[in-house]
Amino acid sequence: MISGANLVIDGITKAIEDGILSAPIGEAYIGECRFLRALTYHNLLIHFARPFAEQGNNRYGLPYLDYPMNTQENIDKAGEHPRDNLDVCYTKLVEDLDYAESKLGNTHAVNRITRATKGAAIALKARVLLHKGDWAGVKREAAKLVGDGFTSPIGGYALTADPITPFHSFASNSESIFSVENGTMRNATVNGSLNQLYTMSNGGRALVAVSPIAYNNSYWIEADKRRDMLEQNAAGLYFTTKYNNAVAEMNSYAPIIRYAEVLLTYAEAIIRDGGSVEDALPYLNVVRNRSLYPTADAYTASSFADTKAFMNALLNERRIEFLAEGRRWEDIHRLLLDPDYSTGGVPAKAHRITITDVLIPDGVPVYVIGGAVPADALTTIPAIPYSDRRCVFPIPESTTTRNPTLHGQQNEGW
């Protein structure tokens, strides 16, 4: 992705210089490429670098390559490019997204969901700044998309009335800001498509079950429409129905950024930056309340003893709202050094084999709304403390072979 983006940027730049493309059109293409480069690098940083707040591990980020591999000079340059530190990486991420925001339109004429737009650049920037802990910056960016009545003045984004709509109407809805497009002729195939992995109906392979840790979350009340987005198989496991269209097509879009994330991110930044529960509550409630059946279950300011209690509810809301969307590890990673909300590392996992072969056959309740997960379900995949090297992936040998400089910049412990 990064290499392709850099090659296209180089080609488009030359096309503008040669008068083949007008500057506005060419710069918009470059904006899309810089958005994709930033999105890719941020995902890589979450897996191959420590959190931004970490002062150890030499503050290693990744080699932020912003030049194309189309000359021997650049290939040689990349072959010895050291790991940029986290400060440099996050500065470059924001620069890429600032450029994208300045060059992209509010909507895209071809596909407003799977082509980068101004709103997508802003939303991703808010996510990046959340990981950086720049609360004022998060508020500044999120505020651009949070309009009166919770409809964005940029792109017209708004929550759908039903929480399932962004998934079952993945190609056309008001909430999806950016998704990765799949189609019947262009998808992740049987071994990788969302429909095959997560779905048990319509021919799905049901490979990835919902963990009882998520299902039993005490913040996830029974009268919540998002529980209707689950189905249980004969073995007693639950699966999401977010990716539940015809499996033969395998064309569900992969959700990357939804408007719900912007609203919850804004609420968190308000609290983190010294704001009150009253200030942040409307942005939490608008996401949560659309999924509640009785309005009596809505939060009020008196629901929280203090801002810490509010933050616990907010972070758990993210776990519920983004179930099966790949957001959980991102939150674990960014909070690893948080004094109040860290998991202390990679939490213990519930193993589906243990659940189905050991617990459910013996009648031990595993999926219990608001209940505890049986300890036996968490023994085969124990927790990994933050001090363990496995909290961060190693730089692969294939990469260190191409760039020997990285041999001496491997993550600690590997």
Summarised one tens digit per residue, pLDDT across range 154-189 is: 999 999 999 999 999 999 999 999 999 999 888 888
Which uninterrupted H or E stretch holds 284? helix 277-289
CA distance linking residue 213 with residue 217, whole number of Å:
6
Q: How far is CA 108 from CA 28, 105, 258, 358, in A?
A: 10, 7, 16, 51
Mean pLDDT of the 312-328 span: 97
Asked whether 9 and 96 are in contact (CB, 8 A), the reply is: no
CA distance linking residue 148 with residue 151, whole number of Å:
6
CA distance linking residue 374 with residue 393, whole number of Å:
29
Asked whether 127 and 42 are in contact (CB, 8 A), the reply is: yes
Give yes or no for residue 320 having a pLDDT over 80: yes
Mean pLDDT of the 248-265 span: 95
Q: What is the pLDDT of residue 49?
A: 97
pLDDT per residue over 134-162, tens digit each? 999 999 999 999 977 899 999 999 999 99
What pTM does this model have?
A: 0.96
Distance of CA 387 to the CA centre of its chain: 24
- Which tokens hold the place of 350? 């519930």
Asked whether 85 and 56 are in contact (CB, 8 A), the reply is: no
Q: What is the pLDDT of residue 38?
A: 98
Q: What is the pLDDT of residue 184?
A: 87
Asked whether 113 and 178 are in contact (CB, 8 A), the reply is: yes
Q: What is the pLDDT of residue 248?
A: 79
Q: How far is CA 284 from CA 280, 287, 290, 313, in A?
A: 7, 6, 11, 9
CA distance linking residue 331 with residue 350, whole number of Å:
19
Give yes or no for residue 132 having a pLDDT over 80: yes
Q: Where are the alpha helices (DSSP H) in 133-257?
A: 135-145, 165-168, 194-198, 212-215
CA distance linking residue 394 with residue 264, whole number of Å:
32
